Amino acid sequence: MDTNHTTSLYQPPTDRRLDIIHVDDALIILNKPGGLLSVPGRGPEKQDSLSTRVQTQYPEALIVHRLDMATSGLMLMALTKDMQRQLSQLFEHRQIEKHYHAVVNGQLHSPKGEINLPMNRDWPRRPRQKIDHEHGKPSITRYEVLKYDARKNTSLLKVMPITGRSHQIRVHLQTLGHPILGDRLYADCDTIEKSDRLMLHASYLAFKHPGTNDCLEFDSPAPF
């Protein structure tokens, strides 16, 4: 879910060490730091990305899915074209379970909920996305409130996207009235100023390994 959106000055993390969670003959699981593109963007100044950094150590590594530049957390890459195809099919058929953690502004009325709002590109304001009831694609996000901080008036959520639209979690939570802290694309100024980063982290992946049929689970605690 990475649109390669960057500000005019792209400043990726300078620590180039890879945080590898798992590697075998077919795939790699690793943590992407916030502020790093998943794949190269347009222009020579935006060629530094997680995929290019991984390929310096694993030249055969292939992208399977993406995270927004500002989002941190677990990403999956394939080490063969056949594995890339099989993993892409798992994503397409919703056979990979994904959880995120997010800190949002305000207190939610319900401890659990589901946001079912169709989404489409907001062409005049690219790379923004928008809710589009007429032409949008089905988009579903489930959430659970883990903690409310009354002093800061913020809530920590566990978020489970059922579909995988670009910026889905960010747009759905903003539309719900609870934008993610530090979201410079969708939040208001007060919410942005509550954090110097986007408070969204891909914290859990679970799927059946296409090559071995082993059930794999990976956790990455949110750094906030």
Nearest to 223 by CA among 130, 102, 92, 104: 102
Would you write out the chain's pLDDT as a tens digit for each of its 224 residues?
Answer: 444 444 458 999 999 999 999 999 999 999 999 999 999 999 999 999 999 999 999 999 999 999 999 999 999 999 999 999 999 999 999 999 999 999 999 999 999 999 999 999 999 999 999 999 999 999 999 999 999 999 999 999 999 999 999 999 999 999 999 999 999 999 999 999 999 999 999 999 999 999 999 999 999 999 99
Half-sphere exposure of 169 (CA within 13 A, CB side): 31
Condensed to tens digits (0 to 9), the pLDDT of residues 174-216 reads 999 999 999 999 999 999 999 999 999 999 999 999 999 999 9
Q: Is 4 within a domain?
A: no
Q: What is the pLDDT of residue 1?
A: 45
Domain CATH code at residue 181: 3.30.2350.10
How many domains in the chain?
A: 1
Phi/psi of residue 29, nearest 5 degrees: -115, 130
Measured distance CA(176)–CA(194) in Å, rounded: 19
- Which residues belong to the active site? 68
Measured distance CA(187)–CA(173) in Å, rounded: 10
Q: Is 65 within a domain?
A: no
Respond yes or no on whether the N-terminal peptide bond of residue 127 is cis (omega within 30° of 0).
yes
- Are 53 and 30 a contacting pair, CB within 8 Å? no
Nearest to 220 by CA among 70, 47, 72, 62: 72
The H or E element spanning position 173 is helix 168-175
Q: Is 189 within a domain?
A: yes
Q: Is 70 within a domain?
A: no
The domain containing residue 144 runs over which residues?
Answer: 100-200
Q: What is the pLDDT of residue 9?
A: 87
Q: Which pTM value belongs to this model? A: 0.94
